[in-house]
Amino acid sequence: MAVEFLKDAREPILRLSGVVDVAEANALLRAAREAARGAPLAVVVDLQKVDRLDTSATQILLALRGALAASGRVLRIESTPPAVAQLWRRAGLGERLR
């Protein structure tokens, strides 16, 4: 997995790629925390190049969404692959992670 954090953009962007699983959870968590610290209004998560995303990564994204919402900010997920969207729908997370 690769986590690319673009903090010089208008909104911080986390770009994920490959297989995002428990082995990369710490890297994703660090990037999510840094993104949340620097986000004025929103954090964008780009999933366009993700092959697979497991529950640990999903939990981190949910926690990031909650932390942002607590301070009136938003998490915007873009380019969700169909397989990931289907997994989130089956888990009842479709509306929470959009």
H or E, element range at 70: helix 55-70
**Mean pLDDT in runs of 10 for the chain (98 residues)?**
81 94 93 90 95 93 95 94 90 75
Contact call for residues 46 and 11 (beta carbons, < 8 A): no
Is 96 inside any structural domain? Answer: no
CA dist., res. 19 & res. 66, Å (int): 24
Q: What CATH number corresponds to the domain at position 62?
A: 3.30.750.24
**Domain for residue 98, yes or no?**
no
Residue at 19 is within a domain:
yes
Confidence (pLDDT) at 7: 85
User: What pLDDT is stored for residue 11 in this prediction?
Assistant: 87
**Domain coverage including residue 81:** 2-90
97 lies in some domain: no
Q: What is the pTM of this model?
A: 0.91
d(CA 6, CA 24): 18
Q: What is the pLDDT of residue 1?
A: 61
Amino acid at 18: G
Domain count within the chain: 1
pLDDT at 38 (0 to 100): 79
